[in-house]
Structures are given as structure tokens and as C-alpha cells.
Amino acid sequence: MKSGRNTKSAVAGIFLCLMAATLFAADTNGPAILPWPQQVTLRAGAFKLTPQTRIYVDPASRPTATFLTARLRQSTGYPLKTRTKFFSARAIEGGILLTTRAANTNLGPEGYELTVAPDSVVLRAPTQAGLFYGVQTLFQLLPPEIFSSNVVQAADWRMPCIQIEDWPRFRWRGFMLDVARHFYNRQQVERILDAMAFQKLNRFHWHLTDDQGWRIEIKKYPKLTQVGAWRAGVGFGLDPKSTTAYGPDGRYGGFYTQADIREVVKYAAARHITIVPEIEMPGHSTAALAAYPQFSCTGGPFSIPLKGGVFNGIYNPADEATFKFLDDVLTEVFQLFPGQYVHLGGDEVPQDTWKNNPACQALMKRDGLTNEDELQSWFMKRMEKFVGAHGRTMVGWSEILKGGLASNAVVMDWIGGATEAASSGHDVVMTPTQFCYFDYYQSTNRASEPLAIGGFLPLEKVYSLEPIPADLPEQYAPHILGAQGNLWTEYIPNLHYAEYMIFPRLTALAEVDWSPDSARNFDDFSRRLQVEFQRFAELGINYRPNLTNVPTATLTQ
Ligand code: ACM
């Protein structure tokens, strides 16, 4: 899609570097950039950051420059001055330029071009997102201490001379957090957004509702959070002390107010992350039906489960009141989340409830639906129309293919369906369990790992994912939007443990999503990861330190 270098955008002076080496693949001793860029040319020499270094920026790019200077100030202590007045190429000598002016539009909506020379650093991108990603790369050219939250006196703040042209391979570079099974508060979610931005990820899939909890305030239905956000205990057989998410009455849980959500959306947008909210239906809805049992087939009562599994909290499609409720809920969701995509779940529907319900059976007869898969499809198609009428796009799990896929739906493939969906013109996000489920164990030595849901997903396996299915005819490949890591949190009651499960597997997935597949090299990735671990340490991010199937306990002692 993008090619060639816009030589006009190169600033005079960059060729002062004497030697150059183009790194076609990430298989050298190049800098620890993660994910590895599309094109890298390493040169001799370095740019040294000093207290006098000026930041030059066009006015529209100021927020991105502020993001840069705030981080640099924390760790270097340098009060770097920013200039937005007219600047010429010559005037930036000794400085760092961030601009969208004269940027190569072939770099695309998230690409950037970064040139580090001994006397200047020039970062150009057609968009603010591209500039933001260029800033992330710039941080990675500096010592890991750049991520320190305190001033580091002894550090040598040099960047190697380099020329980078970079853009992502995929548009959807995602991470999903399940906040229903265990609750992560606003500050914790923002911490994860910070880590995502740092890895150039751009979609946060927020799994806000499930059987075990409803986490989003809906003004029209206050019981969703008054009842649905709380359960009798932490559940899942876990130690009650493994979490602090208890309400004043001792119940476990929590929820986001609409004000919280607006703040998180803003926080994400400032990091070029779009939030994809998920409101589960028709199954995985026990918490909602504990609050409003009138929208179920049986009338309830429901209690919020303290364990995992498939529960009979399923909406009643035979009652119009159910759709009025769901439409009202989504109307508030649309007001809170400006992004294009809204995820409506659709997975693991316990259809027996519908099978045994005379009203559901009558509805099927009326509409000529021959089985419950078709009823499920009828349900999701109806919701997809509502979502579409509001100018949004519905996303659903693999099962939305069963019984017929709604016309504009995006499929999130966890147990298959990508090829079928993409070759019929639907967009697809890849989250196959065997590569993308970060709730799986990271070692077969289970006794040495914290309790997990099961499975085995080592780092190298995540890294080996090819998002485009091998059996997908090439012309449909553009329908594969990208890949996403999912963290289901049944056995993950706190952020410290969540980070251990996320990192560095998400770092591997970020490289799958961003870097050219020809640059994929696990040995070199592992080498760069050692530097990434130093950055994680500076940032206070917990991670699994060993890359192989070795008991963590042995290595950390
Ligand atoms: C899923 O893991 N049930 C989508």
C-alpha cells in the first residue's frame, strides 16, 4: 500500500552520518523497537538530548508534542521548550521537529517517518496518530530509563542516527479486557490503555457485561448497576483477599459511572485508541436479568453466579419489551462511545431455554424459523439493524454466523468462521483461542504458575499467529482487519496478575499486528524483549520474565 521515501521531506543535514545499514528484517543488533518498523536504516552517530534541546511543532500537533515533552521531562528533568512559530529546516538544528506538514501521505493514516541525525530529529506524519506512534518509537531509541517516573541523573540520553519509515500492517490492533468476571477500576483501565498505546495498539475492546457482572451505568435502568454490578463474593474459588473491589456493604464488584466512561473514552482518544464496548446478548446476561428478570423467558429470579460456566440468563426474543430495553441500553451506549464499532456478543447461547419456552416456539413458527440457531440469528439481525440505524457497526463473536449472518456485521473469530465471513464480504477480527487467549497458562508446569483457566499459550505461539487464514482467497484478505488479544478474567482478580498474563504476550501480538510478516523473527524479538522488560520495570508493569516453558518460580529466585 505504501512505498518509497519522500526525499523532499528529508531535512538538510541528515546525511552527515557516515555509514548506513538498511535493516530489512529484525535480525540484527538494531535498536529494541517493538513492534519492529516497516523500514529501518541505521547510521553511525547519535543525537544527544540536552536541557537546551528545542521541540519544534506545528500548532495542530502541539498535544502530541506535549505528550513527548511530559515524558522526557519526568525522566530527564529537562524543561524542554516548545516552539510553534514558523520554523525552517535550518532553524531546527539541535532540535526535535514534530509536524504533519510536508508529510508523505503514502505513509497512511497511522504511519510516520522518523529521521534521527546528529544535529536534529525530524518526525513527520500525515496524521496525529502517526506522529503519536513516531513518538513511541522515539522513546524506544532512548535508554529504557526514559520511562522512569523520577529524574535519572546518570543516564546518557542519546538516540542512534536512524531513518525509519513505518506504518501498521493491520488496522485493528486490539486488546480485550473482561471487567465482568472481575472488576478493574477506571485508573486500572487507564493504566492498560497506557501500555496499549506504548505498543501501538489502537482498539480497546471493553467486555462490560456478562453473567457475573454488569459494569456500565445506564441511567434509564439503574438496577443494572445497583443489582447487576455486585455479587456475594469474589467467587471462582479465589481468596477473598486477592482483590480490594468490595462495596461498602461487603459485596464484591463495582461499575463505571457515565462520567467515568466519558473520562476513559477521552483518555483513550488522546492515545489514539478507540474503545469498542461490548454489551452481551442474548446469552451471558444473567447479571442484567438478576436486575430486570421481566426480560427473560422464565421471569426469574436470577442470582449472579460466583463461578464460570454457561448460565441460563438469556433474553426473551418473544417479548417486544426486551427489544425496547436493549434499544434503550444501546442508545445510552452510543452516546458514551463515539467509535464506529459496538460489540453485542452473541457467543455461547444456551438455547435450551428457548427450546422449552412456548412463546419462543410460537415466534419461530410465526417467522418460519426452523431451529434455535435461526432464532438466534433473527435476534442478532434485529439488533444489527438497530445498531446500523444509528450509524454504527455491530461486532459479534463467531457464533453470529450460525443460522445466517446479519448483513453488515463484523465477525470476531474465536472458534472459527473467519474464512466464511470474509469470503462473503464481511470484515473479521482474529482472536483464535489457540493464539490470542491470554487467560491460558504460559507454561505446562502449571504448579509453577498462578492459577489460570487452563490451556497453554506460550509467547512463541502468540508470535507465530498469521492473521490471514491460509484458506482465504487472496482477494478477501483486506477483510481481515487485524488481530486482538483477549483477557478473560475468571481467575484473574487483580491488575498485578492481569499484567503478568498480558505481558509480554501482548507485545508479541503487537508485532504480529504491526510489523511486516517478512520481519517476524522470534530470536530477534526475544533479544529486543530484554530491553522491553527494562522499560516495563521502569513503568512498574508486571510481566512474565521468562520466554519459555520454564517455571517462573525458579527463574525469579
Ligand atoms: C468467548 O470466549 N466466549 C468469546
Q: Where are the domains of the chain?
A: 21-166, 172-517
Question: Per mean pLDDT, which range of 29-33, 50-54, 73-77, 170-174 is the poorest?
Answer: 29-33
Q: Which residue has the higher pLDDT, 23 or 273?
A: 273
Residue 324 clears pLDDT 90, i.e. is over it: yes
| Nearest protein Cα to ligand 1, atom 2 | 414
Residue having the nearest C-alpha atom to atom 1 of ligand 1:
347
Active-site option among 210, 384, 399, 538: 210
Task: For 21-166, give the CATH class.
Answer: alpha beta
Q: Tell me, in angstroms, the distance from the centre of ligand 1 to residue 406's CA.
A: 19
Q: How far is the CA of 348 from the centre of ligand 1 (A)?
A: 7
What is the DSSP code string of 504-543? THHHHHHHHHHS-GGG--HHHHHHHHHHHHHHHHHHT---
Confirm or reject: Cβ of 397 under 6 Å from ligand 1: yes
Is residue 420 within 6 Å of ligand 1 at its C-beta? no
> Residue type at 95?
G
Considering the domain 172-517, what is its CATH architecture?
Alpha-Beta Barrel (3.20)
- Told to judge if 348 belongs to the known catalytic residues of this protein, a careful annotator would answer yes
C-alpha to C-alpha distances, 326 to 285, 317, 331, 335, nearest whole angstrom = 12, 11, 8, 14
Query: How many Cβ atoms are within 10 Å of 289's Cβ, its own excluded?
Result: 28
Output the pLDDT for position 19. 54
Q: Report which ligand 1 atom has the smallest distance to the Cα of 414.
A: 4
Active-site annotation holds for 210: yes
Rounded distance, CA 519 to CA 112, Å? 18
Q: Which atom of ligand 1 is nearest to the CA of 398?
A: 4
Catalytic residue of the set 205, 284, 343, 479: 284
d(CA 375, CA 353): 12
Q: Which of 78-92, 268-282, 294-308, 373-387 has the lowest mean pLDDT?
A: 78-92
pLDDT tens, position by position, 99-154:
999 999 999 999 999 999 999 999 999 999 999 999 999 999 999 999 999 999 98
C-alpha cell at 359: 412463546
The residue to mutate among 279, 348, 401, 484, having the most atoms of ligand 1 within 8 angstroms of its beta carbon, is 348
Residue 93, pLDDT score: 84
- Answer for the pair 98, 56: CB distance below 8 angstroms, yes or no: yes
| DSSP-assigned beta bridge partners for residue 120 | 117
Q: For residues 146 and 171, give the distance between their C-alpha atoms in angstroms, rounded to a whole number.
A: 28
CA distance 238 to 307: 10
**pLDDT at residue 24 greater than cutoff 90:** no
Q: Are strands 274-281 and 203-207 parallel, antiparallel or unpaired?
A: parallel
Ligand 1 close to Cβ of residue 295 (< 6 A): no
Q: Give the integer Cα–Cα distance in Å for 412 and 406.
A: 13
The amino acid occupying position 469 is P
